[in-house]
Structure 1
Amino acid sequence: MQAYLSLIAITGALAASTVSPGPSFIVVARNAMSLSRRHGLTTALGMGSGAFIFSVLALLGLHTLFSAVPTAFWVLKILGGAYLLFLAAKILRSARQPMQVEELNKTSAISLRRAYGFGLLTQLSNPKRAIVFAGVFSALLPQDIPSYFFAVIPLVTFCINAGWYSIVALILSAEKPCAAYLRCKTVVDRTAGGVMGLLGLKLILSSK
């Protein structure tokens, strides 16, 4: 039961961090609006693949670390909670700031393969994503990691990222929904920031 609760908590935390608008959102929106809906969806798959890779690396690294140094589990829990609090504060501070989206003009078409690669590289080049994975996993993974987690968590991570950015691509390929979504940025940021802040506090308090 504890493992299932951990999996649910990880899924919720990753979902909260994924839906908060940032560089990945801009990339998917740009391709969806300036190229085509198919390009946006392909870029979303690249984002999901990058998140999949991050989750595998984080799982393998943490598993090795926990086995070699058991006290590292407690230390990483504190650090993970502290980072989530920092991330929550940053998200909440920027909630009222309008997203800086440059004017998206129609551009010459690129291949779907390049659109996928662009999404993948954008995700992998964002160090904040790696830190989020490390923080969430170190805080919420059970100390004895079930073997099936190494298959389920990367798959869930891919589905969350690819699924969310696919929705973004489908919606923002039309001009009016794009404007409506950007107007909701404050609500989205406050929700994501609140979830991250509560999670960070819970992790720090539970480590004592």
Structure 2
Amino acid sequence: MTDFMSILAIMAAMLIGAISPGPSFLLVARTSLSQSRPHGLAAALGMGVGGMVLATLAVVGLQALFMQVGWLYIGFKIGGGAYLVYLGFCLWRGAKEPLAAATEMAGGNRSLFRTFLLSLATQLSNPKTVIFYSSVFAALLPAQPSLTLILALPFVLFLIEGGWYSAVALAFSTAKPRAAYLSFKAWIDRAAGAVMASLGLRLIFGGVKV
């Protein structure tokens, strides 16, 4: 797989992961609903920067380990695949659950910078995020990726995370797009869950065949 194709595959997987509702989604949505569009965009920027930091830690740590312990690469693919299958199952199972979005938040007069810091801290404090990144990297990165590919990944994650959550901020600061998302939430979650589980199965079977 070429560097370009690897980046495209990782972008697709990361976009699916970002779209799946979770703590980050709720924070950006609630900020946009209860404060303002600029605050929502500041929160989105925090998510993007946090994603870039976690991506750097994930790819550097993984490659260092894989160079030292060859069998770990296979084990990580299988373990990461199982985790992604679990996430896909949870998304599918919870597709019909309503999305709780509070209309008020403590600290409604929070500055844009403090909103950015809160969002950044939320992203960095979520261990599932770095596990998800590492799982996708294990599935879609070659065993010996080029330096260009390694350096590009943090910026790719910034574009995916920051871009998606900026779209969330813009959507949830208006009424009609929010209502449309809530109307199709079950279908969106089920589709994301199915794709996530398929990616996990690819890791598992790929690890077994090595």
Question: What TM bracket, shorter-length normalisation?
Answer: over 0.9
Partner Cα separation in structure 2 for residue 105 and residue 6 of structure 1: 40
Match of 2:135 in 1: 135
Change (3 A) 1:200 1:164: same
Query: How far apart are 1:105 and its partner, in Å?
Result: 6.9
Change (3 A) 1:77 1:105: closer
Residue 76 of structure 2 is aligned to residue 76 of structure 1: yes
Q: What TM-score do you get using the length of structure 1 for normalisation?
A: 0.94
Change (3 A) 1:106 1:34: farther
Partner Cα separation in structure 2 for residue 122 and residue 178 of structure 1: 22
Match of 2:30 in 1: 30
Corresponding letter in the other structure for 2:102: E
Partner Cα separation in structure 1 for residue 183 and residue 190 of structure 2: 13
Residue 57 of structure 2 is aligned to residue 57 of structure 1: yes
SS in 2 for 1:102: coil
In the TM superposition, 1:45-194 aligns within 5 A as 45-104=45-104, 108-194=108-194
Partner Cα separation in structure 2 for residue 42 and residue 156 of structure 1: 19
- Aligned residues between the structures: 208
Partner Cα separation in structure 2 for residue 34 and residue 129 of structure 1: 25
State whether residues 34 and 106 of structure 1, in contact with CA within 8 Å, keep that contact through their aligned partners in structure 2. no
Corresponding letter in the other structure for 1:57: L
Residue deviations 1:139-171 (CA, integer Å, cap 9, x gap)? 221101110122211101010000000001111
State whether residues 34 and 104 of structure 2, in contact with CA within 8 Å, keep that contact through their aligned partners in structure 1. yes
Change (3 A) 1:108 1:79: closer
Query: How far apart are 1:101 and its partner, in Å?
Result: 2.0
Residue deviations 1:31-87 (CA, integer Å, cap 9, x gap)? 111111000001000001111111000011011011111111111111111111011
Corresponding letter in the other structure for 2:34: S
Partner Cα separation in structure 2 for residue 11 and residue 177 of structure 1: 24
Partner Cα separation in structure 1 for residue 85 and residue 5 of structure 2: 22
Corresponding letter in the other structure for 2:66: F
State whether residues 21 and 185 of structure 1, in contact with CA within 8 Å, keep that contact through their aligned partners in structure 2. no
SS in 2 for 1:104: coil
Q: What TM-score do you get using the length of structure 2 for normalisation?
A: 0.94
Partner Cα separation in structure 2 for residue 107 and residue 50 of structure 1: 22
Corresponding letter in the other structure for 1:125: S
State whether residues 34 and 107 of structure 1, in contact with CA within 8 Å, keep that contact through their aligned partners in structure 2. no
Partner Cα separation in structure 2 for residue 133 and residue 24 of structure 1: 15
Corresponding letter in the other structure for 1:124: L
State whether residues 29 and 101 of structure 2, in contact with CA within 8 Å, keep that contact through their aligned partners in structure 1. no
